Structure 1
């Protein structure tokens, strides 16, 4: 049974990793097809959609997984099926309401994003069109997520894994094929291509949902048999079941909403802010688009932090409830060290190699100079995002969810205010600096609460991080030197793209070799890999 669970968890983790990799890779050809103006239109649609999707599901899939697992362990399989049925009703209603809210609010959102005076960029009608097309996905994704939660709670990870991969593959194929056919075969506009791309969320959701329905249908006899022979087969009152479900669900959605909220603040304020200081709409949209592309690159190392952060909650919760405070402190210290060990070198690498990496990935047609510059500014956000994710997970683990919300609200408020203050002075870097300060206040608030709750001492933790800081500094110097020599020695006849690609590959390889090589000699790699396995 244990080996089956471990195998299932491996499949689910692998599926999530494959989905993330595919979700990153497809942006490259998609941006090549539609350009920065098309990508920012795509971003306009997905920004509010992501927020409404998080709100509509309100963390119920993870909560369903937790409750189904709990009652299956108690020998009551009937509760899981009842929960699936009522959870599905709830998600269908929630999905319809969210769809209607996004579809009907599209004209208002478009007017906020795009002014009527400047015709140099996307029009409000274009924005309204793509937002309405992506809204259809809200009819299917919440219901599908409940099904995934049920299977995971039953310790059957395969269906969720397969569904995740199928959804992502179908979505990406539809995006790229649809955009290519729209532009190059039917000779339609970039707006039409982006509309097809946003509607792909619905098509992918249908494909993923059908996979889950098919597997559930194939297993229906086994599921009924499990329910009928359960030793503790009692029905729970629906109200009490839903109350427990919501109680579990709310903490899960809090952390997940924070980063999308910050990204949406930029999406919805950048155009008007830059227009107010003399930029044309198309120039403001280019900045908006490039910041979005930089965010994609920065989120790659952050995904690792998210995985650690979410896996941290059960162990810390268990130790905290069992009043094993020393264990809680040790786990917090080890996890922060692991997060810094993985995210800081990635952030520094992006900072040093911002220009060549941006050109290598997004090409020379999509504002390379601006993109490289903004990627350098944005790179350290990986550390801020990761630290926020982890400290928020710790807050949930020690039952400080309400105070976590206060910290998030403080950071969001500061982010909004600083966007307006910093943009006139720092131009393109203004929104990025505002993001840093916003997350910094939330992280410091979380650390203050954690320190107070479990008497966590920070000085020993900072001492243990010194070795990592020195290792990152050594790696950074090596990468900077290799980048400098590569740019000096590479033949002048090479194209800009080739020079950027060669410089990036050689510099990244050197950075990885130096970091892991010295880290291995200092036993840091071995120490952290063992700790991560133990988690």
Structure 2
């Protein structure tokens, strides 16, 4: 790995902290982005092989995965971030041995969580499917296929958190990508064999596609084990030179893991709980408002819960990557009582998030029509839902980042309270939004609820840590202006290319997407380099790029 742990850590300077944040974010962003892109690209052949059943298959896949995601996050959602936070705090005071004991004991705990969670999901698949799957019997085999993955993923996630505590993001990023590669390969092979060779049942194809989660997790866990074995001599050396002033009993380590993890679990499940709320309420509310049958409702549900969500999560994952990087850095500054560093890291994290997220979201909205055609089919309703999802992704990403900032600063109770208030807001406005906006209603209700929660958290950071939003406002304005220009450029490219190419063709839609992304990306790169805004993100490399591109 390129990132080496330091035996005698000191409080980071502004430049060092920013470099760590950008470098860590780069690793996590690359791993998350590549895995998300791969997780979206498989849809193209998957949809073709599923044939006319693909919308029903997408709906079933989304139902099963939303339930699985909730179980997964309850079992391990907070543990990687909690372990990362605790280990970074112990390392900051030269108690490496305690952090390593914490990891080893944590493996026992996560193994138990995985077995219990998997058993509950397997044996409770029937009643769970009735409550959250709309009574669809096809959800049961899907949940049982996913229950197997639930057994090993907690230990895999704990190991990622261990490396993140040392601010080594490469193992997490690479293992994330490997996990997705093996998952997609198995998924596509199984689907092709069932649907094209056996001419089989689409429900079986979906079931095997979800079982692929276990295959990917197993590959990732093996890779992480190899990383740990390779780094063991260095880790042992750090443990030997620790101060060893802390003597923490095993039960206390378990307690610390659980206490630290609970707030992370609650907040990490936020998006999934919002999705489960949609899953449980969309069908009855749509029947009440529009009197549609189950097949029509499943098709509409697939538009936002699977089709749009699969693509939008590519850019939301960028926010998640930033969030994972920020937690240990903030914890280190908090342990050192360095308020100046804390304030600077908070401001840098928000700017870094906006620098990536806003142009990404607006760019996806601009190319929504050819993108939706490429991955699914030419569909005006699907395009509209994807556009709305792209805009709401900014809010989802913002909540992800600000909740991580709050947790890194041990403001756990407060962020949980803000999240619950946002959830209550969504619950109240869900039916009116569905009645007025139909399929877009759940998306708008989620965006409003998470906006409320995010604004409360941002105000909390201002009051308690002195973050100065006025100071970062000029950069925010420039990012917004360049992102709007990016949107206009990409949208214009799509419009002009549609005059030449067939907008209903998948192959020609791919060409339109490639050209429009290149146009939009070039516009954003030019303005951020020319204005020196990119220097904050990529440092001295920006000057080199300006010379090569002859930008003054």
CA–CA separation in structure 2 for the residues paired with 1:250 and 1:509: 43
Decide which of 358, 363, 378 is 1:344's aligned counterpart. Answer: 358
Q: Aligned pair 1:504/2:481, yes or no?
A: no
Q: Aligned pair 1:183/2:195, yes or no?
A: yes
CA–CA separation in structure 1 for the residues paired with 2:482 and 2:222: 48
Q: Aligned pair 1:278/2:291, yes or no?
A: yes
Partner residue, 1:173 = 185
Moved more, 204-213 or 424-433: 204-213
Partner residue, 2:451 = 440
Shift of 1:16: 4.5
CA–CA separation in structure 2 for the residues paired with 1:78 and 1:453: 33
CA–CA separation in structure 2 for the residues paired with 1:454 and 1:243: 28
Partner residue, 1:513 = 522
CA–CA separation in structure 2 for the residues paired with 1:501 and 1:295: 19
Partner residue, 1:32 = 48
Q: Aligned pair 1:416/2:432, yes or no?
A: no
Note closer, same or farther for the CA distance 1:219–1:389 as it changes in structure 2 (3 Å cut): closer
Q: Aligned pair 1:480/2:491, yes or no?
A: yes
CA–CA separation in structure 2 for the residues paired with 1:107 and 1:177: 28
Q: Aligned pair 1:265/2:274, yes or no?
A: no
Note closer, same or farther for the CA distance 1:172–1:483 as it changes in structure 2 (3 Å cut): closer
Deviations 1:316-352 (Å, cap 9, x if unpaired)?
Answer: 4454565554544443333323322222222222223
Count of residue pairs brought into register by the alignment: 520
CA–CA separation in structure 2 for the residues paired with 1:451 and 1:36: 45
Partner residue, 2:547 = none
Deviations 1:134-183 (Å, cap 9, x if unpaired)?
Answer: 11211121133334444555787776566444433222211111111111
Note closer, same or farther for the CA distance 1:192–1:242 as it changes in structure 2 (3 Å cut): same
Contact map agreement 1:78 1:234 (CA 8 A) in 2: no
TM-score normalised to structure 2 length: 0.83
Note closer, same or farther for the CA distance 1:82–1:471 as it changes in structure 2 (3 Å cut): closer
CA–CA separation in structure 2 for the residues paired with 1:317 and 1:216: 23
Note closer, same or farther for the CA distance 1:79–1:339 as it changes in structure 2 (3 Å cut): closer
Note closer, same or farther for the CA distance 1:275–1:244 as it changes in structure 2 (3 Å cut): same
Decide which of 110, 115, 125 is 1:96's aligned counterpart. Answer: 115
Deviations 1:257-287 (Å, cap 9, x if unpaired)?
Answer: 2222222222332222222221111111111
Q: Aligned pair 1:427/2:446, yes or no?
A: no
CA–CA separation in structure 2 for the residues paired with 1:485 and 1:103: 52
In the TM superposition, what are the counterparts of 1:105-504 in structure 2 within 5 Å?
105-113=124-132, 124-150=136-162, 163-212=175-224, 232=244, 236-276=248-288, 277-291=290-304, 292-319=306-333, 324-364=338-378, 368-488=379-499, 490=500, 496-504=505-513
Note closer, same or farther for the CA distance 1:110–1:380 as it changes in structure 2 (3 Å cut): same
Note closer, same or farther for the CA distance 1:322–1:211 as it changes in structure 2 (3 Å cut): closer
Decide which of 8, 19, 36 is 1:20's aligned counterpart. Answer: 36
Note closer, same or farther for the CA distance 1:229–1:410 as it changes in structure 2 (3 Å cut): closer
Deviations 1:464-486 (Å, cap 9, x if unpaired)?
Answer: 42222222233333333333322
Higher RCO (CA 8 Å, separation ≥ 6 residues): 2
Partner residue, 2:548 = none
TM-score normalised to structure 1 length: 0.85
Shift of 1:195: 0.7
Note closer, same or farther for the CA distance 1:526–1:218 as it changes in structure 2 (3 Å cut): closer
Contact map agreement 1:78 1:233 (CA 8 A) in 2: no
Contact map agreement 2:44 2:374 (CA 8 A) in 1: no
Moved more, 156-165 or 346-355: 156-165
Contact map agreement 2:365 2:391 (CA 8 A) in 1: yes
Moved more, 78-87 or 469-478: 78-87
Contact map agreement 2:88 2:332 (CA 8 A) in 1: no
The alignment's C-alpha RMSD in Å is 3.4
Note closer, same or farther for the CA distance 1:133–1:457 as it changes in structure 2 (3 Å cut): same
CA–CA separation in structure 2 for the residues paired with 1:259 and 1:95: 21
Shift of 1:224: 7.8
Contact map agreement 1:298 1:381 (CA 8 A) in 2: no
Note closer, same or farther for the CA distance 1:76–1:40 as it changes in structure 2 (3 Å cut): same
Contact map agreement 2:60 2:206 (CA 8 A) in 1: yes
Note closer, same or farther for the CA distance 1:458–1:11 as it changes in structure 2 (3 Å cut): closer
CA–CA separation in structure 1 for the residues paired with 2:108 and 2:483: 51
Partner residue, 1:119 = none
CA–CA separation in structure 2 for the residues paired with 1:518 and 1:112: 50
Note closer, same or farther for the CA distance 1:275–1:170 as it changes in structure 2 (3 Å cut): same
Partner residue, 1:47 = 66
Contact map agreement 1:113 1:269 (CA 8 A) in 2: no
Note closer, same or farther for the CA distance 1:398–1:63 as it changes in structure 2 (3 Å cut): closer
